[in-house]
Chains A and B, each alone.
Chain A
Amino acid sequence: MAAEILVEGVCYQYPQSSEMALKDVNLRIKKGEFIAIIGPNGSGKSTLAKLFNGLFVPTKGRITVDGLDTRDKENIWKIRQKAGIVFQNPDNQIVATVVEEDVAFGPENLGVPPDEIRKRVDEALEIVELKEYAQKPPHLLSGGQKQRVAIAGIIAMRPDYIIMDEPTAMLDPVGRKEVISTVKRLNKEEGKTIVLITHFMEEAVEADKVIVMSEGRVVMEGTPREIFSKVGKLKAIGLDVPQVTELAHRLRGQGLAIREDVLTIDEMVECLCPLL
């Protein structure tokens, strides 16, 4: 049985809606990969995320997590243990009245022993720098602090597949970098599979593979370098490229000899040095 999330010919239609939110999506997310999903508002990213762990089931087609079909009710418990989501709006997933209880909720539900839970909760709060807020009611926190609580929750749960829907949207620049480096560490050191949905192109650059969605379909798939060198195509569907990639693109247009696929500041420095 393959260790992967496999999406085969999936369509999804919301009950009240006349249109398909997802149209014939096919994807394979292998265990241990770090995938970024980008796409315009309403393109189906969050819907797809909720299908990954069986919160929604496909209207058509099939999704399996490590071979377990999400349509089979008997599998749901096992699937939820394997795949956890941090939702787009942290307000909607706060369940407890005290921060540390909220973070403990996931592992408790998985039947993790109390000592182990204590350890995981402390660690998770340490990672997101919320230790001093452990005893506070989550609803009294600022927007970015709530988002950190939600991230701590999934870190404490430690599922094999970690799905994060815009986890850094309300964080300050340093906090955003910290979350991305935590995600990379979970991926590289603990072998966790990461699916990161984001509107920040600089974050998508960090992934092994980028999936681009538009109007309910997967329209591009490739390494960050392959995807972001297609500046015109991305802009046409309402997306963007990192600032340095954009700058490289413009300078090429002005006749400077610069590679098309620059992704980072250091690569750009390397390209520009011989010219300045």
Chain B
Amino acid sequence: MSIVVKNLTHIYMPGTPFESVALMDVNWIIEDGEFWGLIGHTGSGKSTLIQHLNGLLKPTSGEIIVDGVNINERGVNLREIRQKVGLVFQYPEHQLFEETVEKDVAFGPKNLGLPEDEVTERVREALDLVGLKYDEIKERSPFELSGGQMRRVAIAGVLAMRPKVLILDEPTVGLDPRGRDEILGQIVRLRERQNITVILVSHSMEDIAKIVDKIAVMHRGRMVESGTPKQVFKNREALASIGLDIPQVTHLMIKLKDKGKNVATDVFTVEEAEAEILRAARGMGHA
């Protein structure tokens, strides 16, 4: 499923003292099956932007076109759009409301009118995908879990809907390192298996570098850049000036290069750095 954002502007509470221009003339084309990372400083408009993609927020001006349909036109069934475009919120607590974890994750699939056993099947699968044990957690209240456990339940609730486009607003916030790697790994596999489109909002340049194909950069409500990780991470000064950064290993390679060492600097993951340093060290007769 493709999504096209055309000249999108969003103003919160226009005409009041709290008026705030959150998005200014944003244009973005998301092709079917692409994996996007969305980055930007706090308050740059990321959450506002993605909440337009399934019709939760209405544009002040501009258009959102999902699979060829302008979703804000009269007569468009937004419920259908929201089944296809699944959104995991920045604050998982906002998404949890049932008295047990099982009911919470089952809520979406139930609403799709699926038969009971299919619902249970999906709940099990979704909890498994986020690294929670169905039998241990199904009866617990989602509000009596640790922060990271709550987030996993919220993600499971959206996965159980099997959306065609999966949008995750800082899904790894509050997860421990293993949980972070597991969930990102599951998203990658899910995408390969079901060929879904994914948009990942994140402040972790390391995570973004590891898994996305393309990155869009927000700054004060505008989309100031979009391209491959290589293109976007090339300009570290520009990124730093708008609150962002490059991965730690990329910093390392740049420092080595500055010392006159013969290493590539378009290296964004630990694995890539390992290979590049070994190459250079072997060239010098070490290792």
Q: Which chain A residues have a beta carbon within 8 Å of chain B's beta carbons?
A: 14, 16-17, 39-42, 46, 88-89, 91, 136-137, 140-145, 147-148, 166, 169-176, 199, 201-202, 235, 238-240, 242-244, 246-247, 250-251, 254-257, 265-266, 268-269, 272-273, 275-276
Docked-complex contact B249 and A174, CB < 8 angstroms? no
Docked-complex contact A173 and B18, CB < 8 angstroms? no
Query: Least Cβ distance of B129 to chain A in Å?
Result: 16
As a 0/1 sequence over residues 165 to 205 of chain B, the CB contacts with chain A under 8 angstroms (1 = contact) are 00000100111111110000000000000000000000101
Binds A, one of B140-148, B154-162, B225-233: B140-148
Q: How far apart are the CA atoms of A140 and B252 in the complex, in Å? A: 39
Binds A, one of B67-75, B98-106, B113-121, B269-277: B269-277
As a 0/1 sequence over residues 250 to 278 of chain B, the CB contacts with chain A under 8 angstroms (1 = contact) are 01100110010111000000100110011
Chain B contacts of A46 at CB under 8 A? 146-147
Docked-complex contact B270 and A250, CB < 8 angstroms? yes
Return the contact of A40 from the options B145, B178, B261, B280 (Cβ within 8 A). B178
Smallest CB-CB A-B distances: 7 pairs:
A144-B42, A41-B148, A240-B177, A173-B245, A238-B178, A243-B248, A40-B176
Docked-complex contact A269 and B177, CB < 8 angstroms? no
Chain A contacts of B249 at CB under 8 A? 243-244, 247
Docked-complex contact B177 and A39, CB < 8 angstroms? no
Residue of A nearest to B170 (CB): A170
B79 within 8 Å of A by Cβ?
Answer: no
Docked-complex contact A42 and B90, CB < 8 angstroms? no
Listed residue (B42, B47, B148, B247) with the most chain A CB atoms within 10 angstroms of its CB:
B42
Can you pick out 6 interface pairs between chain A and chain B where the beta carbons lie within 8 Å of each other? A41-B175, A46-B147, A141-B43, A144-B42, A170-B170, A254-B287
Chain A contacts of B286 at CB under 8 A? 256-257, 275-276
Chain B contacts of A91 at CB under 8 A? 91, 93
